[in-house]
Each structure stands twice: as C-alpha cells, then as structure tokens.
Amino acid sequence: MNERKETLNKRYNIDQILTKGADAKLEAVIDKKNKKVISESSPKLNSDDLKIFQEAKGALRKNSKNIKDQEHPKTSIKSHINKSRER
C-alpha cells in the first residue's frame, strides 16, 4: 500500500503515452532485442513495424531455444531405452 501511495509522486509520464503512444519505447525495445530490426528511429508505430518486431522476437526466441537444445540435447525415451539395452 505504501508503495502505491507514492504512485502519483513518481514521475510516470502519462503525456508520452497520450501524445506519442508507443514510439519512444518501441525504439528502445527493438534496439535492445535486435539492433538490426529497425536501425533508424521509428517515427510512428504502424502495423509493418509491429510485424517486423514480432517476427524478430519470434526468431530470437527460436534461436535461443536451438542454442539451449544444443547445450542440453533432449534424449528421447526410445533412445534412452536403446542405450539401456546396449549396456
């Protein structure tokens, strides 16, 4: 509750949301996730930007999953049984 009592004292910028929408933060997100997605500043969020952003995010997630799989390959039950039999 105490935390919430300070809500209006914090400098959350309502005006940026109301006058610029997603612009400022969209740039930050895209730059942080993948600088190659949109290298120039994004003047206005449109559906194309959002599509690029979503695709890039999906690709990044897929890549990180592949890396994880390489580091910790999943052993199928079948191969596990076969290995046990070999032993």
Partner 1 sequence: MKLQFEEQTALIAKQIAKQVERFLETKLQERKLNRQKFAQDSGIPASTINGFMNEESRVPTLKTLYKIAQYFDCTIDNILGRSDNNDADRMSYNDISFEDVNNNIRDFIKVRLTEHNLEQSELGPLIGRSRDVIRHFMNGNQKTLGIELIVALADYFGYKYNE
Nearest-approach distance from CB 19 to partner 1, in angstroms: 4
Nearest approach, Cβ of residue 17 and partner 1 (Å): 5
Query: What's the Cα-to-Cα distance from 32 to each of 3, 29, 71, rounded to whole Å?
Result: 29, 5, 24
Buried b (16+ CB within 10 A) or exposed e, 3-24: eeeeeeeeeeeeeeeeeeebbe
Give the residues lining the site for partner 1 (CB under 8 A): 1, 4-5, 7-26, 29, 45, 50, 53-54, 57
Instruction: Tell me whether residue 29 or residue 34 sits nearer to partner 1 (CB atom).
Output: 29
Minimum Å gap between C-beta 60 and partner 1 is 12
